Structure 1
Amino acid sequence: MPNSCPPPNPHAATPIYRQVYLRFRHAISAGRLQPGERLPSVRALAAELNLARGTVEAAYQMLAGEGYVQTRGPAGTVVAPLLSPTPVDAGERRLDPPQTFPKPAALAPMPLQMGLPALDAFPRKLWTRLLGRTLRQSGLDGLVYPDPQGDLALRRALASYLGVSRGISCTAEQIFICAGYRACLDLICRSLLHDGDRCWFEDPGYFQARRFLEQARAQLVSIPVDADGLVVEAGMVLAPDARFALVTPHHQSPLGVTLTLPRRQRLLEWASSQGSWVIEDDYDSEYRYRGRPVPALKSLDTQGRVLYCATFSKVLAPGMRLAYLVVPQAQVARFATVAGDMQNHCPQLLQATVSAFIEAGHFARHLRRMRGLYADRRRYLVDALQAEVGEHLQLDDRAGGMHLVAHLAGGLDDCTIARRAHHLGLAIEPLSSWYRGHGQRHGLLIGFTNVSSREQAAELARRLRLAMDL
């Protein structure tokens, strides 16, 4: 611990783990601890201060979560190498972080973050080999202006994959490669949306899509979600003339329920009769841990009303910024014109490498491996949470997905818990913040894909218990 800082005061109102955290943070911000300098080991500092190891670990995790330090395994914990000193108020004692925090040296994900695949399981060696081979074999086609719809080989590979895995009959001509899911929404809005068009939006629903559509000047109509998915009849009452409906039918975001077949049929009937469009966000359909996979809504679309969106962010890596959109045949020309105007291109080398990854069978093998891995990691976290805080959480037992939904008992506030968890280095999200209208439910959204062991799961569950102030 920095020599110039007083030792923790067991009689102070501030918890001891937070006192330790603040001492180091002040020393780093003031420049007394330099970038790259090694911190004492958890065991050594706990022995020196006569504290429990868990107390010191909690302080170090807070520092790591905010980017002040980096853990380097056997090499210990060091001050983030690229961090610049930024003075802070020595009297600061608030729970909420001040707005003058120095920017973290790296955007490393926090534990339990939603929406991230298992970063430690990405096939780096194979990917590097394919990337190099693709680069060596590329010719003049890689140097000219790319096709605004995306690499043809990748679109053909995707058409074949979707036909087998999602029951979608489409051609490469109907597929558009986009720089992420929001780029898919952007292409849809530029092609079909008019200012003020009404759009059914699941409540609760994916907040990033909600923000984008609001910025695109769509008029969102919140439609409730129950155990059978989007309540289609409610949409037909609230906004029967809506021009769009954005849905996550396979694994509703964030509740995880599946849109039942009768409701899927009713939704398509409504879209056909109104001449409306259904945007299907099929964001993590690859991950189902029991039962048979549910076909895509697009596979039932006989009238050409569904715009199908999917992404490689959940199955490979979000840093690729690679997604794709399948449009009805009758709309291909319109979308192609808009895509040409947008110049929404993804790197040609990246697209060609993904194409090779799929065509060689690596993609299917990778998905099989990840399903097994995620089933194990999900079980690690469920067991740890039930053992540590099971009496205060009700975990939804869903068949798939990449996160857990934990409903809170006893009137606990999810926003307060999520804020405290963030200070303890946990990227848990409050369920209530995903609601747009009334009827909010309090709960926690907890990613499990990067929980690599039972021991790590147990440690994270203990930290969550601290955040819940139990």
Structure 2
Amino acid sequence: MSWAEIYPWEAPAPGEPRIHRVYEQLREAIHSGALRPGGRLPSSRDLARRLGVARASVVAAYERLVGEGYAEGRAGSGTYVSQDLSGVLELRPARRAPRAAAPPALPDRVGALEAFDLPEAPPEARPFSNGRTLMDERALDAWSRASRRALRTLGPVHFGYSDARGDPRLRAAIADYLRAARGVVCEPDQVIVTAGAQHAVDLAARLLVRPGDPVWLEDPCYDPTWHALGQLGAELHPIPVDGSGIDVAAGVAAAPDAKMAFVTPSHQFPLGVTLSMARRLELLAWARQAGAFVVEDDYASEFRYSGPPLPSLQGLDGGERVIYVGTLNKALFPGLRMGYMVAPRPLLKALSVERHLTDRQPSSLTQAVLLDFMESGEFAAHIRRRRVAYGRQRDALAQALVRRFGDALEITRPDQGMQLIAYFRDGRSDLEAELAAARAGLSARAISRLYRKAPPRPGVLLGFSGFPVSAMAAGVERLAAAWSGGSGGALGLGEDCAPPDGDADDGDASRRLSGRVRTR
């Protein structure tokens, strides 16, 4: 039986070049043993005739096989399967493995990552998505000008590798900003530019956490941080969060010898509470006594709506035990992929090497644009304008929720951040609410899935930063329809939830906020 009978010709798929199909057929025949090492391949003219393709396609396929080492040409004799493959082919599986073949054994880590719910970007912005941002025309124009300047002055730094920690001038600008806005104690050489807060958290964890090390995390907490530490083999201890932030005493009772604590003290994710001063001092005292490090994720510090931004935990510590982490992706836009960490000096060299080994360096071109944007004063001006705009968007969303749902929801209007929580007063399933919203093209993230041991209170996270004031009322109406069953949901929430006084204007809704909306 000839190899052509074993591997009958398969017509190319639509859009697939015939050359590629011929090459694939021949390679599979070699791998399967139908064409043996040292065996002669048909002449290009004969094979082209048998397959009904142009001879040029066969010649090109033969040339590729020769170039990759599958075949060899012999002057005046033809093309043969390479003798070098003798005794090797059986070590490589055929491209078409038998159906009964057992799947390859995979490390446990692969299975754990397969189980992780990787979020997919929707084709368009879903109302109330978390983490979305807006930029006004002034900021967009300024960013465009900075981008054009960076491209026009494409200097030598962009044509080679540079400092893994980032551009020294950008690190100096970030250090100046953090000292002034967040009370961070640092010098420019302590700043390491990253792809965002999650990248910085991962770097710190890779350096300091070993399998079996006990680690504190807030309960509830940011899901990717929990999974990233779990993948490193850490012994995870969820520490409950109350109105004053993470319960340090509970952490000491659960794992007094923990190596690290990961916290969001300025605006706890997802609950939005602030770590009290007493708890801050207690946390730092524990870290010093235990020889542990604290990772402070200050992910939304720029957007505080009542009073100035809270000083950082790192500034209170003096930079000894706290690794400060921040992001510019939320201050500007997520597609930027730029953040930073401030490293304690004893860890600076090791974290810099870790950054080099995992991602070599940040984009020099993006850094140049960002530096221009910051040095021109546009970054600070953008933050000031966004703080006002996001505060209005927060209020518009809270008011629309009160008007539409009345007492069925308890709304937390946060003093800081980019999302609020709507709690269900009747204890209905927030997972079902999330699913019903998704079916209607909306985002309402269930917070119960972010808890580990602490008893969850059902509610949903609703982002307001990425959507203008004018979009809030219509979005809430769509949410009500989804939750009442009008868009595939079946929660029975929305149709009969208007407040007792019926329709009201924004002024009436604002006056009712004190009774129906909790302010953090």
Q: Which moved more, 1:116-125 or 1:231-240?
A: 116-125
Asked whether 1:138 is paired with 2:154, we answer yes
The 5-angstrom pairing of residues 16-55 of structure 1 reads none
Q: Which moved more, 1:258-267 or 1:343-352?
A: 343-352
Q: Which moved more, 1:319-328 or 1:121-130?
A: 121-130
Q: Could you say which residue in structure 2 is the equivalent of 1:463?
A: 478
- 1:346 is displaced (CA, Å) by 2.0
- Contact kept? 2:216, 2:260, Cα under 8 Å: yes
Please, which of 252, 274, 296 is the counterpart of residue 236 of structure 1? 252
Q: Deviations over 1:323-354 (max 9, x none)?
A: 11111112212222222322342210101111
Gaps of 5+ in 2: 1-119, 485-492, 494-520
- Which of the pair has more CA radius of gyration? 2
- 1:453 is displaced (CA, Å) by 3.0
- Contact kept? 1:122, 1:316, Cα under 8 Å: no
Q: Could you say which residue in structure 1 is the equivalent of 2:310?
A: 294
Q: Residues 157, 303 of structure 1: CA spacing in aligned structure 2 closer, same or farther, 3 A cutoff?
A: closer
- Contact kept? 2:293, 2:322, Cα under 8 Å: yes
Q: Residues 105, 288 of structure 1: CA spacing in aligned structure 2 closer, same or farther, 3 A cutoff?
A: closer
Asked whether 1:210 is paired with 2:226, we answer yes
What's the RMSD between the two structures over aligned residues? 1.7
Greater RCO, 1 or 2 (C-alpha within 8 Å, sep 6+) = 1
- 1:118 is displaced (CA, Å) by 1.9
Q: Deviations over 1:413-470 (max 9, x none)?
A: 111111101111111101101111231110111001133134x222111122223223
Gaps of 5+ in 1: 1-103
Asked whether 1:435 is paired with 2:451, we answer yes
- Contact kept? 2:395, 2:413, Cα under 8 Å: no
Q: Could you say which residue in structure 2 is the equivalent of 1:378?
A: 394
Q: Deviations over 1:298-347 (max 9, x none)?
A: 01113610001101111111111111111111221222222232234221
Q: Deviations over 1:201-243 (max 9, x none)?
A: 0011101111111112222100000000001110000011100
Q: Could you say which residue in structure 1 is the equivalent of 2:143?
A: 127
- Contact kept? 1:407, 1:444, Cα under 8 Å: yes
- Contact kept? 2:267, 2:416, Cα under 8 Å: yes
Count of residue pairs the alignment pairs up: 366
Q: Deviations over 1:91-141 (max 9, x none)?
A: xxxxxxxxxxxxx99732211001111266682221111011122223212
Q: Could you say which residue in structure 2 is the equivalent of 1:357?
A: 373
CA distance in structure 2 between the partners assigned to 1:436 and 1:298 by the alignment: 27
- 1:401 is displaced (CA, Å) by 1.0
Letter matched to residue 338 of structure 2:
L
Q: Could you say which residue in structure 2 is the equivalent of 1:71?
A: none
Q: Deviations over 1:365-414 (max 9, x none)?
A: 00000011111111111111000012211011321111011111112111
Q: Could you say which residue in structure 2 is the equivalent of 1:108?
A: 124
- 1:181 is displaced (CA, Å) by 2.2
Q: Could you say which residue in structure 2 is the equivalent of 1:341?
A: 357
Letter matched to residue 320 of structure 1:
L
- Match of 2:413, SS? coil
- Contact kept? 2:164, 2:362, Cα under 8 Å: no
Please, which of 233, 256, 266 is the counterpart of residue 250 of structure 1? 266
- Match of 1:123, SS? helix
Q: Could you say which residue in structure 1 is the equivalent of 2:430?
A: 414
Percent identical residues: 38
- Contact kept? 1:182, 1:212, Cα under 8 Å: no
CA distance in structure 2 between the partners assigned to 1:136 and 1:200 by the alignment: 48
Letter matched to residue 464 of structure 1:
L
Q: Could you say which residue in structure 2 is the equivalent of 1:396?
A: 412
- Contact kept? 2:179, 2:185, Cα under 8 Å: yes
Letter matched to residue 174 of structure 1:
Q
Q: Residues 303, 325 of structure 1: CA spacing in aligned structure 2 closer, same or farther, 3 A cutoff?
A: closer
Asked whether 1:173 is paired with 2:186, we answer no
- Structure 1 runs, 4 residues or longer, greater than 3 Å off: 104-107, 119-122
